[in-house]
Amino acid sequence: MRPLDTSNGKNNVNDATSELGSTIRFEYESSEIKAEYQPIITSEAKQLAANRHLQLRLEGNTDERGSAEYNIALGERRAQAVKKALILLGASESQLSTVSYGEERPK
């Protein structure tokens, strides 16, 4: 997840948002969020809800296993799963965007 602060009309990462942008890891071939990451998602959703000027780009990644098409789709499912969880916990859909890099940017 990449934080974007748009309070000044620019999309740049700054110190005010450095606490956002945690990495959420998934099991192989899964887009299900593991329970151990729920506190992180809850915390980030609360921060987004309290700071409506913040925006977060959710980046879906995979490893090199599987075809490029499969990995792009899996990365998108992962990003969408986190987006849905953040929205359910109070973040606004307009604060969130998703992108899938598949295996191009493994973490």
**Letter for the amino acid at 26?**
F
Residuewise pLDDT in 10s, the chain (107 residues): 544 433 433 333 322 333 577 899 999 999 999 999 999 999 999 999 999 999 999 999 999 999 999 999 999 999 999 999 999 999 999 999 999 998 887 66
Q: Cα–Cα distance between 107 and 102 in angstroms, integer? A: 10
Q: Which helix (H) or strand (E) holds 45?
A: helix 38-50
Residue showing tokens 């995979």: 62
In this structure, the dihedral spanned by the alpha carbons of residues 39, 84, 28 and 17, taken in order and rounded to 10 degrees, is -50
Residue (of 19, 75, 74) closest to 47 by Cα position: 19
Report pTM: 0.80
